[in-house]
């Protein structure tokens, strides 16, 4: 943190702490104006000798009202003072007009001007103390906030005129977008916010060129905001049942958006609705979906408890990715900026690697879709991921399947394998009765997969070719005659179904 202990206070800083926090700013042309010293002007003579960049508190003769304030404003303008502070009784509407005309900051106080001047002098002589006080006050205000929007509101009012934005992955999700915009000559202060040890978001403030000295202070205030932000963010995540329902409904809406205008316009043209931002979703750019589903297919939605577990596991590892329960699984997606060609598969792999353990322990499988643009792209990716997840079920708990590696096998994902396996009990009773039926089915499946090549099948199974030969002969005896072209597809599907049904039973 680049502290600049000698940086003088500016008007905006003084206006945040007592006693000027109670003052009303009649005219404030430049809140970033520095204050080098405080002058308690009792006479006009004193006023005419005020140093530039001083803050002049009018008092006694110089604050008698009427012409006195007009003359003081003119003297202040001549002396290039930072601001004129005047007691309320001396204030008049024409003076406000004159202050505006001369471009002099004019503050009106209700308190005793001498007390105000003394306090201000103390603050100006020890800027760090005043800043510390201000930071403490700011911390109190931040602690009162319970929403991300509230925290950003406090930051923006506290640091004004410096704009502050909260960005997640480079996209502004809250605060003033100007905060994330680079300004010529200005300094950008970034504070990273980590959730569960991983970067989740950044607080970005654009400090204008002329008060770069305040950058250190800006940074300390931004740091203060990290915990309240995390707390607010966590809170929104913890209210999960309501949140889950909301997210589910929102995702349904998104899906409908893609389905409805499809006839009229290009599917890629679907505009991203603004409420996705409120949910913390990012849909602009390209999206790569992940479908998480239970290993065994269930009818209808998975249990609520399981949703909670998945959500908790997901948030621990990938807090910035959304998680939406959908039909028999959960959807999440990785958002990639439109500009980069890089698909960031490594990022996805890291994410998947992190959740694999949890997926294994909860008997889940994951499917990963391809990256596509916009809302329609997201929907497409979701469908791909879901197919991939079905294929992944073959790999056992915790297995991950990428859609681009699935290819045509995806067609098999929807096969009612359980029912097909039950058919085997009827039409291949001999085989099903055999003790070594699993070895026989595996061998026949391998031979069929390898297009009838015994040597390839033996290599795949890791047994001798003769073993394969003898097992095939025995299978044929038991009714698994795959030589007949008319029955080959049926038998192949049957073997595939049996193998995948038996798979979970094996170690």
Partner 1 sequence: MTTRYIGAATTIRADDVPALYEGGKFYSPAVAPERTTLLSWTESLLERNGPVTLVRPDAVAPETRCVAICVIGSGAALADLPPSGDEFALAVRELERLTRHRFDAVYPLAAATVSGIAPLAAASQLDVPLIDADGMGRTFALIHHTAMHLGGLSPTPLVIRGVTGENVAITVPGPARADTLLRSNVDVLGGWAALAAYPTTAGDLRRAALTGTVSRLINVGRLLLESSDPDVLVARLAAVTGCRRIGRGRIVELEHLSRPTDFTIPTHPSSVVIDEIGGQGRQLRLELRSEVVAVFADGALAAAAPDLICLVDVLHGEVSTLDSLEPGDLVDVLVMPADAVWYSAEGLAMVGPASHGIPLEHPRHR
Name, in order, each residue with C-beta under 8 angstroms of 198's C-beta and a sequence gap of 6 or more: 317, 319, 320
Rounded least distance, CB 67 to partner 1, Å: 5
Torsion sign, CA atoms 441, 446, 452, 455: negative
Q: Are 456 and 450 in contact (CB under 8 A)?
A: yes
What are the distances in angstroms from CA 186 to CA 165, 181, 199, 450, 493?
A: 16, 10, 25, 66, 67
Can residue 438 be called a binding residue for partner 1 (CB under 8 A)?
Answer: no
Q: Which is nearer to partner 1, 66 or 418 (CB)?
A: 66
Q: Which is nearer to partner 1, 97 or 481 (CB)?
A: 97
Q: What is the 3-state secondary structure (H, E, C) of 474-499?
A: HHHHCCCCCCCHHHHHHHHHHHHHHH
Q: Which of 26, 127, 120 is nearest to 69 (CA)?
A: 26
- Which of 8, 25, 30, 44 binds partner 1 (CB under 8 A)? It is 44
β-bridge pairing 364-373 and 324-326: unpaired
- Which of 18, 30, 61, 344 binds partner 1 (CB under 8 A)? It is 61
Q: Which is nearer to partner 1, 63 or 244 (CB)?
A: 63
- Which of 8, 29, 65, 273 binds partner 1 (CB under 8 A)? It is 65
Q: How far apart are CA 312 and CA 319, in angstroms?
A: 9
Using the 8-state DSSP alphabet, how is residue 242 labeled?
H
- Which of 36, 74, 223, 246 binds partner 1 (CB under 8 A)? It is 74
Q: Residue 299's CB: how many other CB atoms inside 10 A?
A: 5
Residues 82-121 that bind partner 1 (CB under 8 A): 92-94, 97-98, 101-102
Can residue 73 be called a binding residue for partner 1 (CB under 8 A)?
Answer: yes
Rounded least distance, CB 45 to partner 1, Å: 8
Can residue 396 be called a binding residue for partner 1 (CB under 8 A)?
Answer: no
Name, in order, each residue with C-beta under 8 angstroms of 217's C-beta and a sequence gap of 6 or more: 13, 131, 135
Rounded least distance, CB 69 to partner 1, Å: 8
Q: Which is nearer to partner 1, 4 or 92 (CB)?
A: 92
Q: Which is nearer to partner 1, 95 or 332 (CB)?
A: 95
Q: How far apart are CA 321 and CA 366, in angstroms?
A: 15
**Applying CB under 8 A, which part among 52-60, 68-76, 359-367, 405-413 lies near partner 1?**
68-76
Rounded least distance, CB 77 to partner 1, Å: 7
- Which of 32, 70, 227, 450 binds partner 1 (CB under 8 A)? It is 70
Residues β-bridged to residue 366: 292, 400
Residues 187-206 that bind partner 1 (CB under 8 A): none
**Applying CB under 8 A, which part among 59-67, 131-139, 182-190, 338-346 lies near partner 1?**
59-67
Can residue 67 be called a binding residue for partner 1 (CB under 8 A)?
Answer: yes
Q: Is the peptide bond before 161 cis (omega within 30 degrees of 0)?
A: yes
Q: Are 131 and 10 in contact (CB under 8 A)?
A: no
- Which of 71, 135, 160, 309 binds partner 1 (CB under 8 A)? It is 71
Q: Which is nearer to partner 1, 30 or 42 (CB)?
A: 42
Which token pair is 88? 């309320």
How many residues bind partner 1 (CB under 8 A)? The answer is 22
- Which of 20, 26, 50, 72 binds partner 1 (CB under 8 A)? It is 72
Rounded least distance, CB 120 to partner 1, Å: 23
β-bridge pairing 54-58 and 37-41: parallel
Q: Residue 325's CB: how many other CB atoms inside 10 A?
A: 21
Rounded least distance, CB 93 to partner 1, Å: 7
Rounded least distance, CB 63 to partner 1, Å: 11
Q: Which is nearer to partner 1, 65 or 277 (CB)?
A: 65
Q: Which is nearer to partner 1, 62 or 468 (CB)?
A: 62
Q: Residue 121's CB: how many other CB atoms inside 10 A?
A: 16
3-state secondary structure of 313: helix
Rounded least distance, CB 121 to partner 1, Å: 25
Can residue 68 be called a binding residue for partner 1 (CB under 8 A)?
Answer: yes
3-state secondary structure of 318: coil
Q: Which is nearer to partner 1, 89 or 452 (CB)?
A: 89
Q: Which is nearer to partner 1, 87 or 329 (CB)?
A: 87
245-248: long-range pairs with CB below 8 Å, 24+: 246/279, 247/279, 247/322, 247/323, 247/324, 247/325, 248/324, 248/325, 248/326
Can residue 26 be called a binding residue for partner 1 (CB under 8 A)?
Answer: no
- What are the residues binding partner 1 (CB under 8 A)? 43-44, 61, 64-68, 70-75, 77, 92-94, 97-98, 101-102
């Amino acid at each position: 943190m680049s502290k600049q202990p000698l940086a003088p206070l500016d008007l905006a800083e003084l206006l945040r702490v007592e006693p000027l926090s109670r003052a009303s700013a009649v005219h404030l042309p430049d809140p970033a104006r520095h204050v080098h010293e405080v002058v308690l002007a009792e006479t006009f003579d004193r006023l005419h000798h005020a140093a530039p960049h001083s803050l002049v508190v009018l008092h006694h003769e110089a604050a008698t009202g009427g012409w006195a304030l007009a003359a003081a404003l003119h003297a202040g303008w001549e002396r290039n003072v930072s601001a004129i502070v005047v007691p309320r009784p001396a204030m008049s509407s024409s003076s406000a007009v004159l202050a505006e005309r001369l471009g002099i900051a004019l503050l009106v106080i209700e308190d005793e001007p001498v007390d105000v001047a003394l306090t201000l002098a103390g603050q100006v002589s020890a800027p760090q103390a005043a800043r510390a006080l201000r930071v403490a006050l700011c911390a109190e205000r931040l602690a009162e906030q319970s929403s991300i929007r509230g925290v950003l509101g406090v930051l923006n009012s506290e640091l004004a005129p410096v704009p502050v934005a909260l960005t997640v992955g480079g996209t502004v999700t809250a605060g003033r977008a100007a905060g994330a915009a680079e300004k010529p000559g200005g300094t950008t202060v970034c504070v990273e916010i980590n959730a569960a040890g991983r970067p989740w978001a950044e607080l970005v403030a654009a400090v204008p060129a002329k008060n770069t000295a305040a950058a250190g202070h800006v940074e300390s205030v931004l740091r203060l905001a990290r915990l309240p932000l995390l707390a607010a963010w966590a809170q929104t995540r913890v209210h999960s049942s309501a949140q889950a329902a909301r997210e589910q409904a929102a995702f349904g809406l998104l899906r409908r958006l893609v389905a409805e205008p499809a006839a009229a316009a290009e599917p890629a043209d679907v505009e991203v609705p603004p409420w996705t931002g409120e949910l913390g979703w990012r849909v602009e750019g390209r999206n790569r979906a992940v479908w998480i589903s239970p290993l065994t297919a269930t009818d209808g939605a998975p249990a609520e408890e399981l949703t909670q577990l998945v959500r908790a596991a997901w948030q621990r590892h990938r807090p910035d990715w959304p998680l939406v329960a959908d039909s028999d699984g959960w959807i999440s997606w990785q958002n990639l900026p439109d500009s980069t060609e890089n698909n960031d598969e490594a990022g996805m792999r890291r994410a998947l690697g992190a959740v694999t353990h949890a997926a294994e322990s909860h008997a889940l499988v994951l499917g990963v879709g391809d990256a596509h643009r916009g809302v329609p792209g997201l929907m497409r990716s979701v469908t791909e991921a879901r197919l991939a997840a079905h294929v992944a079920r073959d790999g056992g708990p915790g297995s991950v399947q990428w859609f681009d590696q699935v290819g045509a096998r995806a067609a098999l994902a929807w096969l009612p394998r359980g029912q097909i396996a039950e058919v085997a009990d009827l039409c291949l009773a001999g085989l099903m009765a055999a003790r070594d039926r699993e070895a026989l089915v595996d061998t026949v499946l391998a031979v069929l997969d390898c297009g009838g090549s015994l040597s390839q099948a033996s290599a795949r199974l890791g047994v001798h070719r003769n073993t394969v030969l003898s097992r095939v002969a025995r299978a044929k005896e038991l009714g698994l005659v795959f030589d007949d072209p008319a029955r080959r597809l049926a038998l192949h599907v049957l073997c595939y179904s049996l193998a995948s049904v038996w798979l979970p039973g094996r170690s």
